[in-house]
Amino acid sequence: METLLLDREGVDANARMDEVIDAVGDAFAAYERGDALMPAKSYIELDQYNGDFRSMPAYMDAGEWDAAGIKWVNVHPDNPEKFDLPTVIGTMIYSDPETAVPLAIMDGTELTMKRTGAAAAVATDQLAIPEARSMGLVGAGVQSYTQLEAIAEIRPIEEVVVSDLDSDAVDAFVDAFSDRFDVRAGSIAEAAACDVLSTVTPSTEPVVSRADLGAHTHINAMGADAAAKQELDPEILVDAKLVIDDHAQTTHSGEISRSYEDGRIDDSDIHGAVGEIVIGDRSGRTDEDGVTVFDSTGLAIQDVATAHVIYEHASEADDVDSFPLVGR
């Protein structure tokens, strides 16, 4: 059996967003049903290189299909300046759960962007007002693109407001989407007043205030994936209907981690996990809800689910490289 080799373009071409959203929703559901295995993310700290490696393995059974794999990813902040390389480089190994044959080795960086957008879309579908037409983005980096692409699959987004300190990044974002949306640069307050808001920054201090939000804004808090990071005014967490992806990860390194640690919020303030809403054990948006927040830290089952979609399409394509990694 040949192992497929997919670079960034190959991942992009075969990660059909509507299917990735469905698969990531299936992953959240499998996790809540107990049909997934996801050991804790492990770290190798390399202080001498000012970097680290992280391994994220997972298996999930969606019922009609199952999937297994591992993402090997790094964070090396000195890479751009010293080596002209990205700070983060990800590699996904997607394997056959029955035989353990590596079915594909694929770029994990593009895959991560796709699955992160899809996770926000799953949460938005459950928590945003049905008639949501406007979307705000705080942060115009690479993650912002798949946030809009994914959320526009499940809500009829028309107006988009993007805010970033880097005006060139904002201009590039506006240029990329101006043929599909009424998209413009704006302030953080203007972005936060939209029906849906995704925050995708590396900020370590709150950048979105409670007063900026609309009465029924749904927030996807995507940027805080380490204990030092924070994007939202803690008062937002106190007031909002708060949904998480995983309790251990979000209370350790998610948007809620600081407020959880200092006692501003506790478990009684957490409405539930997004997977609980997907399977019907918790309510999504109700008529009584105001602001809602999804705290996303990213789960390995999302990577595996996304890799499943990519592999299924790539295995049918004629222009994908492959090689005999496993011999008899």
Beta strand pairing call for 321-323 and 3-6: antiparallel
CA nearest 210: which of 228, 225, 231? 231
- Whether 162 has a binding-site annotation, put simply, is no
- Sheet harboring 196-199: ordered strands across? 182-185, 159-163, 134-138, 196-199, 218-221, 292-295, 241-244, 270-273
Q: Label residues 175-185 b or e (16+ Cβ within 10 Å = b).
A: ebbeeebebeb
Q: What are phi and psi of 150, to 5 degrees?
A: -75, -45
- Whether 229 has a binding-site annotation, put simply, is yes
- Whether 108 has a binding-site annotation, put simply, is no
Distances from the Cα of 247 to the Cα of 163, 235, 239, 270, 281, angstroms: 30, 20, 19, 9, 16
- Whether 142 has a binding-site annotation, put simply, is yes
- Whether 143 has a binding-site annotation, put simply, is yes
Give CA–CA dist 65/235, Å, rounded: 42
Residues 6+ apart with CB under 8 A from 99: none
- Whether 241 has a binding-site annotation, put simply, is no
- Token pair recorded at residue 3: 């192992």
Is-catalytic flag, 241?
A: no
The single residue of 71, 82, 114, 241 carrying the catalytic annotation is 71
- Whether 82 has a binding-site annotation, put simply, is no
- Whether 139 has a binding-site annotation, put simply, is no
Q: Which residues make up each annotated binding site?
A: 115, 142-143, 223-225, 229, 296
Active site positions, annotated: 71
Q: Which residues make up each annotated binding site for NAD(+)?
A: 115, 142-143, 223-225, 229, 296
